[in-house]
Amino acid sequence: MRPSSRTASQIRPVSITRNYTIHAEGSVLIEFGNTKVLCNASVNEGVPRFMKGQGKGWITAEYSMLPRATHTRSDREAARGKQGGRTLEIQRLIARSLRAAVDLKMLGENTIVVDCDVIQADGGTRTASITGACVALVDALSHMRTKGIIKNNPLKCMIAAISVGIFRGTPIADLEYLEDSEAETDMNVIMTDTGKLIEVQGTAEGEAFSFDELNEMLGLAKTGINELFDIQRTALS
Amino acid sequence: MRPSSRTASQIRPVSITRNYTIHAEGSVLIEFGNTKVLCNASVNEGVPRFMKGQGKGWITAEYSMLPRATHTRSDREAARGKQGGRTLEIQRLIARSLRAAVDLKMLGENTIVVDCDVIQADGGTRTASITGACVALVDALSHMRTKGIIKNNPLKCMIAAISVGIFRGTPIADLEYLEDSEAETDMNVIMTDTGKLIEVQGTAEGEAFSFDELNEMLGLAKTGINELFDIQRTALS
Amino acid sequence: MRPSSRTASQIRPVSITRNYTIHAEGSVLIEFGNTKVLCNASVNEGVPRFMKGQGKGWITAEYSMLPRATHTRSDREAARGKQGGRTLEIQRLIARSLRAAVDLKMLGENTIVVDCDVIQADGGTRTASITGACVALVDALSHMRTKGIIKNNPLKCMIAAISVGIFRGTPIADLEYLEDSEAETDMNVIMTDTGKLIEVQGTAEGEAFSFDELNEMLGLAKTGINELFDIQRTALS
Amino acid sequence: MRPSSRTASQIRPVSITRNYTIHAEGSVLIEFGNTKVLCNASVNEGVPRFMKGQGKGWITAEYSMLPRATHTRSDREAARGKQGGRTLEIQRLIARSLRAAVDLKMLGENTIVVDCDVIQADGGTRTASITGACVALVDALSHMRTKGIIKNNPLKCMIAAISVGIFRGTPIADLEYLEDSEAETDMNVIMTDTGKLIEVQGTAEGEAFSFDELNEMLGLAKTGINELFDIQRTALS
Amino acid sequence: MRPSSRTASQIRPVSITRNYTIHAEGSVLIEFGNTKVLCNASVNEGVPRFMKGQGKGWITAEYSMLPRATHTRSDREAARGKQGGRTLEIQRLIARSLRAAVDLKMLGENTIVVDCDVIQADGGTRTASITGACVALVDALSHMRTKGIIKNNPLKCMIAAISVGIFRGTPIADLEYLEDSEAETDMNVIMTDTGKLIEVQGTAEGEAFSFDELNEMLGLAKTGINELFDIQRTALS
Amino acid sequence: MRPSSRTASQIRPVSITRNYTIHAEGSVLIEFGNTKVLCNASVNEGVPRFMKGQGKGWITAEYSMLPRATHTRSDREAARGKQGGRTLEIQRLIARSLRAAVDLKMLGENTIVVDCDVIQADGGTRTASITGACVALVDALSHMRTKGIIKNNPLKCMIAAISVGIFRGTPIADLEYLEDSEAETDMNVIMTDTGKLIEVQGTAEGEAFSFDELNEMLGLAKTGINELFDIQRTALS
């Protein structure tokens, strides 16, 4: 039995609110149960120096948790003077995944920055970030077409992400904090709505896992992510 | 005529939502029109080194704007590796004001950290922060009494803050962004609900201001802040 | 009675030495009693990036205390690797005040940097800095006209600053360290020699202050600053 | 055909030199073809603050590339003043994997730091690091037993790592730089010599990958890692 | 002929003002011609962590130039967020030299920090710093004996320093900026008043120098430093 | 008697391996006994900003010790976020010395960066670095001529460096760690193969040294460096 009383494959109630703030070209509040992440997509002219002159665009991401998004207060990274390894790892993951969903040539020499700020954390902040960021990205791309910055939609597919893991010996989907902190294995899976994989990151926290367990987790991920695609579609329609 | 169509002394609709997030001991979302600040008060055992052994508590504050809280995206301070001068100035102001409202001896050797994170900005983020932080502080102090950490309420008074300024020659209250960016003089006033002043910061942005103008602005501030005390009281009742 | 044996409105002996060092275009040592600040104004061609192409000049300031300017040694900010909040706050204040005294258009695309380095501190370092920096600025502007960099004098007015406060219940002017550290309220006032206000920053350190006390402090400031204008004029003649 | 002329499953010649330097408790130079990493394991008394008092040990890792380990010179991270996201990600991965191989309770309150410094890079530096670090760890643990710091061997299993990927549509093992920079998908797999998985990190660089491709890559990884276990065993015997 | 019109061995007028500021235990303004350095020695209880429990004291130094001590303004190191290599090199040199003059055991577990802040620079700031710092150190040690912190004088000898160099083929002493910037070789020599060497640092800026030239420079240094010892003695008497 | 059993003037076995790594234009592993330094010279088009437009080249250097190059592990400078004073001092010394050996005009607007990374330390890392860096520089310059980047060889002379010191009262050459850590005086001498001095840095660690001792040390240095020139010549032939 899960602390959340959910079945092994049951994901939390997910809610997506578009236009959550007024300034960003794409602004989405995504909630995976008690996990709440604000995903703001900003459109900027030009690309970073290393991309200049290639006629291609760029997508980058930044991730942060508000200091009291968690049970106990964490130090503010701006006050500490640097972003931690976990933060850098997550924002690299978000950006890489979003870029895999977009034809950068069709974006022209423009940059989209997606800020994922965790307002409240209860496990799965990186998967919620990616799932919400994709919707914010869709809105930012619509804005670009409306403004005539680009002509066609550079989006190749939708992407969404979910965490799966092995908790007290059983593979489960969409772990919340209590489950995550106790899980033997933690895996994040990012997929396209064309049924392919963008990223698989499985980590043995305590016990190594078998190939069979890996496959069971991948199956749970596939099912859960398909539910997320439905929710994204509803939000965007 | 103000861009906001408000009368000179008219403040924006103000809304205060308590228990906005689940983890913080005091969690308040305050809205001054389109300006939205999340104020989370965290209670920690112990005090900073320079306060140790005095039997007194401490209150500190941190302030930040989400990168896309504003019209155009600002760099994330954590990514730049340091907090800017404006940020440090504002968080020092918030903390100093809150400390003026509390009997630190009655707090025992405990620290309250108030995080003011601006979700959306439209002028007046520091005055909204202070006004909301005071409510979050009240909730955190209640929590401490409920948990038996302190016996009596260390709060000496409520505090609230408002911006006033001179816009096209006329003193006005509670400036929003369009007004603020064009104002000749900008002043922030922080008061106690006992009718006294905690802080007065008036700055000539373009034109120096006269003693008469100063007094007119102070009058507007007094009126506006009294409205804020009513709204705080309603929220807390 | 003040520890300094001065009357409530009596300011300390003030001395202004021009051409204190040989390299800077304007170099002033200003002394407010035992407080000694070296104000060096440097003229540079060009403006910061955010000002480019507007045909206007810029004035900025930096402030620092020598580590042993104070009773006990403070850490050197260069060694700690960052400037503290107090430092940033003061240098922003100095620069903002000086800019209010100058017609930036008449300055052309040139920058003046004023370095205020506190050699010895005994209260009022920021007000001494501003009062001395204005004289150094005058000398730097003369230099620019002599060199043909600018044709006319961009100075709109002189500025000077003084601290006032409430000490053991009585408003007093120009607080020295012993008075400042015990004062209930501390206020810095910056004025033009045309009788207007540039900046008012009043802070309740322990006790909130009344509107009447505010007015008394403003009166003391006005009188004291007028004395400073006389001293500036004598130094410049 | 691979640029390396190897078959799809063929790994590069791997060489492990123990006692490569004289000071470290475990010192291993590992070569995967032209990729050369020096893995030094240092034994220190005590544990980091967050581990104190639990009677358990800790293992951490640091990773770096010499500036000219690569085709063109990269900036030195010490000179830039911070470690990049890629570096932090890799050293977190190395440390996490090593900890999964050790019973931290049997280590006592001691810390082992493993430094993986890349002398020359040609793809697969993180997998070479992990494979070499495990051997350096074994030597450091032997040293601890010899010195009487610990009584029994806390090693639960050997670990080794390999990269696999999809290159021009075909899954291949142990990618060198030319292959890696062009691969559609890149995956790092870390396993125990008990046949289980410690970490799986698959990333679509350009094209998303199918579940079938994932399984093919996993198969290649398993075969390659088993060869690495043989080479480790030979080196240690 | 030297730009300074001095003879090859002639040093600049040197002036030493003790008690230049009021707070430091030793406070000396030293002038080597137009080079002016304020040397403040601060006495602190305790020693740095790496010296604890050895019953010995410690002497350290910090060096800085005011931004406009030089012909053109240099960036402030506190604003740049780090001390440059030249600064670190000089302050290490000052501290090492002062420690060579003191019996650290007789100092007890106390630390003396000497801050050398260059008010105005015209060549030879490091040699002026060392020569002035030694006098400030003497005053700080007297203060310690007066306060009963130490019983006996831990000073083993006086130290002083001078720069010598080869300018247009001729060895000269005490180079000022115009000479220094053009010199083929630059050498700093630090000696004890017992006729021995503490530090010799000779650098070929453009042309390598011969052993004969080295000896000529050493001779000039010896003569010049002996004059400095006379000036120190007069200042201290 | 020296701990190393060497005679006073006897240097350690020195070995120079060219083309130690495959990517750098010049790559040399130099060994002074147990001290091993990898010197990689990288050729880059262009010069730093302060050199632009002068038609001259630039040579710079970076120095670092692997964390476990030493008896006990040192913190990694990249992890600490800054290079220490010793590191900066050494890399400035290496670069300055190399520049003295090259006609920068003949280099054209190109930069050579020499990275000296200490793999294993046993005293004399800076002198080994300089001696090895000169050989790497020769190879990088050959590469530039081969590639047609420059026409003629800009090298004016070879340089080499050795440490000398006073150990238990006796001047000795090429100190290893055990000798260095106990030496009363430590001196580094850098010479050209034309018999001239590039740099002399003598430091009294405990006892001041006499002019006679200085001359004895210089004599030892001259002899030792001449042996190094032979070894360089053999390596390059």
Is residue C130 within 8 A of residue C97, CB to CB? The reply is yes
pLDDT tens for each residue of B70-127: 999 999 999 999 999 999 999 999 999 999 999 999 999 999 999 999 999 999 999 9
Of D91, D167, D122, D137, the closest CA to residue D13 belongs to D122
Q: What are phi and psi of C59, to 5 degrees?
A: -125, 130
Contact F218 E211 (CB under 8 A): yes
Q: Which residue of D has its CA nearest to F26?
A: D68
Of D86, D96, D152, the closest CA to residue D121 belongs to D86
Angle made by CA atoms B37, B42, B45, in degrees to the nearest 5? 160
For chain E, the residues whose C-beta falls within 8 A of a C-beta of chain C are 21-24, 27, 34, 36, 38, 40, 42, 44, 62, 64, 66-73, 76-79, 81-83, 87, 113, 115, 117, 119-120
The residue-averaged pLDDT of F108-131 equals 98
Q: Is pLDDT at A206 greater than 90 in this prediction?
A: no
What dihedral do alpha carbons C95, C96, C99, C105 form, nearest 10°?
Answer: 110
DSSP single-letter state for residue C76: P
Grade residue C207 by pLDDT with cuts at 50, 70 and 90.
confident
All residues of chain B having their beta carbon less than 8 Å from the beta carbon of residue A85 are none
pLDDT tens for each residue of E90-131: 999 999 999 999 999 999 999 999 999 999 999 999 999 999
Interface test with F, best of E49, E159, E211 (most F CBs within 10 A): E211
Percent of all residues in chain B with a pLDDT value above 70, rounded to a whole number: 100
Tokens coding C31:
């002394």
Centre a 10 Å sphere on the Cβ of residue F72 and count the other Cβ atoms it contains.
9
All residues of chain E having their beta carbon less than 8 Å from the beta carbon of residue F84 are 88
Is residue D123 within 8 A of residue D6, CB to CB? The reply is no
Contact B209 C196 (CB under 8 A): yes
Low-confidence ranges of chain D (pLDDT < 70): none
The answer to which of A160-169, E224-233, F202-211 has the lowest mean pLDDT is F202-211
For chain B, the residue count is 237
Q: Which residue of C has its CA nearest to B218?
A: C211
The residue-averaged pLDDT of F12-39 equals 98
pLDDT of residue F207: 86
pLDDT of residue F205: 81
Tokens coding C40:
């060096």
pLDDT tens for each residue of D101-138: 999 999 999 999 999 999 999 999 999 999 999 999 99
The residue-averaged pLDDT of B158-164 equals 98
Q: What are phi and psi of F184, to 5 degrees?
A: -75, -35
Centre a 10 Å sphere on the Cβ of residue E54 and count the other Cβ atoms it contains.
12
Is residue D140 within 8 A of residue D43, CB to CB? The reply is yes
The residue-averaged pLDDT of F180-204 equals 96
Distance from CA of E138 to the nearest CA of C (A): 17
Q: Is pLDDT at B205 greater than 90 in this prediction?
A: no
Q: Is pLDDT at B206 greater than 90 in this prediction?
A: no
Known binding residue C86? Answer is yes
Q: Which residue of A has its CA nearest to B42?
A: A73
pLDDT of residue A1: 81
pLDDT of residue E27: 98
Of E89, E206, E218, the CB nearest to F211: E218
The residue-averaged pLDDT of F200-212 equals 93
pTM of the model: 0.94
Residue F151, judged by CB atoms within 10 A of its CB (0-12, 13-18, 19+), counts as exposed
The residue-averaged pLDDT of B124-140 equals 98
Grade residue B175 by pLDDT with cuts at 50, 70 and 90.
very high
All residues of chain A having their beta carbon less than 8 Å from the beta carbon of residue B44 are 73
Q: Is pLDDT at B135 greater than 90 in this prediction?
A: yes
Radius of gyration (Cα) for chain E, nearest Å? 18
The gap from C-alpha C87 to its chain's centroid, in whole angstroms, comes to 13
Contact C200 B200 (CB under 8 A): yes
Grade residue A205 by pLDDT with cuts at 50, 70 and 90.
confident
pLDDT of residue C151: 95
pLDDT of residue F157: 97
For chain F, the residue count is 237
d(CA D17, CA D136): 10
Judged by DSSP in three states, F102 sits in: strand
Percent of all residues in chain E with a pLDDT value above 90, rounded to a whole number: 98
The residue-averaged pLDDT of A103-109 equals 97
All residues of chain A having their beta carbon less than 8 Å from the beta carbon of residue D226 are none
pLDDT of residue D214: 97
Q: How far is residue C209 from each of residues C3, C179, C229, measured CA to CA in Å?
A: 22, 17, 28
Q: How much of chain A is in helix, strand and coil states, percent to nearest 5? A: 35, 30, 35
All residues of chain A having their beta carbon less than 8 Å from the beta carbon of residue B113 are 67, 73
Of A98, A105, A8, the closest CA to residue A47 belongs to A105
Is residue E160 within 8 A of residue E191, CB to CB? The reply is yes
Low-confidence ranges of chain E (pLDDT < 50): none
Mean pLDDT, chain C, rounded, equals 97
Is residue F21 within 8 A of residue D68, CB to CB? The reply is yes
All residues of chain A having their beta carbon less than 8 Å from the beta carbon of residue D200 are 187, 200-202, 214
Is residue B191 within 8 A of residue B222, CB to CB? The reply is yes
Q: What is the ipTM of this complex?
A: 0.96
Percent of all residues in chain C with a pLDDT value above 70, rounded to a whole number: 100
Centre a 10 Å sphere on the Cβ of residue C215 and count the other Cβ atoms it contains.
15
pLDDT of residue A96: 96
Q: Which residue of F has its CA nearest to E97?
A: F204
pLDDT tens for each residue of F49-91: 999 999 999 999 999 999 999 999 999 999 999 999 999 999 9
Of E40, E79, E115, the CB nearest to C83: E79
pLDDT of residue D206: 78
**Element of type H or E holding A77:** helix A77-80
